[in-house]
Amino acid sequence: MRLALAVALLSLAPSVTTAQVFLKAGAEVGQGVLRSRGDDCFILAPAHVVEGADSIQVVAELRRLGRASVETVYPGDLALLRVDRASGLPCSEQWDAAPRLMDRLNTVVDGSLESRNEDGSLQRRFVKIVSYDPQFIVIKAVASNDAFFRGLSGSMLRMGGSPAGLLLRVESASGLGIVLRNDHLTDMVRTFFREEARQTVSPADIGQALTTLDTSGLRRIIDLHPDGASVEEGMRWAPAGNESSAIERFLKATQERRYGLNWLDSLISLGLSPDFEFTSEKESTNLLRAAILGGNVDAALLVLKRGAWPHPYEPLDLGYSGDPLFLHPLEYVAAATMFERSEKQQLVTALLDAGAILAPPLENEYRRLKNLDDINARIGTNAIKSYTACCGQQVDRLCSRSGRLSGSDWCGVLRRVPRVVAVPDPSKVTAIGFAAVQLAYLIGIRGNDMYFMGPERLVRVSRDLASWALFHYTSQGPGTCPEETTRMGSSVYCWRVVPLTRIGDTDMLEDEIGWRAKYRLGTCVPWGITAANSLPTCGPSGRD
């Protein structure tokens, strides 16, 4: 009863300066939030409220009236309206990018939903935060007799007094409201509002703030919206006389001070790639690999949730690990002793959700874990139900509407990649001893190269299909393995590479010593190596 009375009193209280407006578009009514760009005024609103309307009536504070029209519509039910200049509506309040939003989401469990009535009065409803993800916040009305309704779409969610998001829709069955987070919303409209004057921030500023976890410095950086290139340069910055980059020191510091990861989340929203690569101890690495190897579970979960490839790239040439993280992330995590069982469960679930591959084992592989039972026993749950399907099924999934590569021009390239590399003449089997290799699983795209996993091998293929490389874990072949790879007896194993070049427009590859391997399109075949004088059986479609 008290809460309902409080809501009523809030609706009758004198209006404070706010960007909230009431919208009427034909038979539809809803809400919107004002934002200026230079001398022009715009409104952010749910697209379903205004789409198709020629003219939209706007009611602001003190019942100031205006008109607006649809400027553009964004994917995900967001519209941008242009307010008629003659309207004279107040448009001074900027949409807050909320650099502290993650801090608030981690600590605050309630907020208020702000809406404008048709008579110009302002109303606030107390709400509870039910859940959130990188794009949305789910809310529920605190008072049972104060349920959400469709006319509230476009209302501003405030947490701790600051904007936190825009209510996109109301789910009548559950009574829940789905709010578009304002940091994600800011990303969507940043290009349109880029004309706003802003200061610049140097890579050294970014690096210094990350290194020291300087809250005020990081807040200033987020407020200034540096571009992705500047953020990446700042990540690689290192203090004079120190070889450790800012991101390395940041990942180490946030193992204990986990609140700092909120800033990494904000930097990803600004354009930092979740697959960001940097050099650590003179070796190429990336955010996910560094987080896992460093034992920073929360950082690994964050970058996976924000879209990182689950197979973090690492250079394999002459590397000594028989089951590298790049090829076998699920097995690596399951076997690692640095993680608690609950942490393994979190990481394995996140890796599977991100599309990590689990390949069937081979008897002669040097992998620590051989089968599903071994892996599930290590993580204490039956999270992994089956091995991954290969070839066309995987490409179809990646290129589906919700897939990682949806809409990219990589999908056409992937469907043209031959699935078998084979040596037609047994007398010309290479020094690394293969007769045929299947390109069974795509595990990553880096620059203009695709990486495919096959039995005991990694295959790198250039975008134009002209340059290939075969990586094989063996004691035979060119190059010298590092000393630490010595195994039982005198055998020394490491990853060795044979570079191949396509011969003109033919279906032939040639290496540096003159033997040739023939390749052609084919289906996935049973896991294993075929006879030296034969190729796997191929179907007519080149698909599973």
Tokens describing residue 230: 């500047």
Phi-psi map region of 542: left, alpha, beta (phi>0 left; psi -120 to 50 alpha): left
The pLDDT of residue 433 is 63
Q: Where exactly are the structural domains of the chain?
A: 1-196, 198-308, 393-520
The pLDDT of residue 486 is 46
Helices then strands (H, E): number in the chain? Answer: 16, 23
pLDDT in tens, the chain (544 residues): 444 434 433 443 333 346 899 999 988 999 999 988 877 889 999 999 998 888 899 999 888 899 999 988 888 899 999 998 877 787 765 555 555 677 778 778 899 999 999 998 999 999 999 998 888 999 999 987 778 888 899 999 998 778 899 999 998 888 899 999 988 888 788 778 764 444 567 888 888 888 888 877 887 788 777 878 888 899 999 877 777 899 999 999 898 888 889 889 988 888 889 999 998 777 889 999 999 999 999 999 999 999 999 999 998 887 777 788 999 999 999 999 999 999 999 999 999 999 998 887 765 566 667 678 888 888 888 888 888 866 667 888 888 888 888 888 999 999 888 888 877 666 665 555 667 788 888 999 999 999 998 776 899 999 999 999 988 887 766 667 776 544 444 457 888 888 888 888 888 888 766 666 666 666 665 444 443 333 344 333 333 3
Compute the distance between CA of residue 219 and CA of residue 328 in angstroms, rounded to an integer. Answer: 37
CB 432 within 8 A of CB 476: yes
The pLDDT of residue 478 is 63
Compute the distance between CA of residue 411 and CA of residue 397 in angstroms, rounded to an integer. Answer: 10
In this prediction the pTM is 0.61
Tokens describing residue 10: 């809030």
Q: Which are the contacts of 41, defined by CB distance < 8 A and separation ≥ 6?
A: 34, 35, 82, 83, 85, 87, 89, 91
Residue 391 corresponds to which amino acid? C
Compute the distance between CA of residue 21 and CA of residue 123 in angstroms, rounded to an integer. Answer: 11
At residue 467, what are phi and psi to the nearest 5 degrees?
-120, 130
Residue 247 corresponds to which amino acid? I
Question: Which fold, 1-196?
Answer: Thrombin, subunit H (2.40.10)
Classify domain 198-308 at the CATH class level.
Answer: mainly alpha
Q: Which are the contacts of 109, defined by CB distance < 8 A and separation ≥ 6?
A: 128, 129
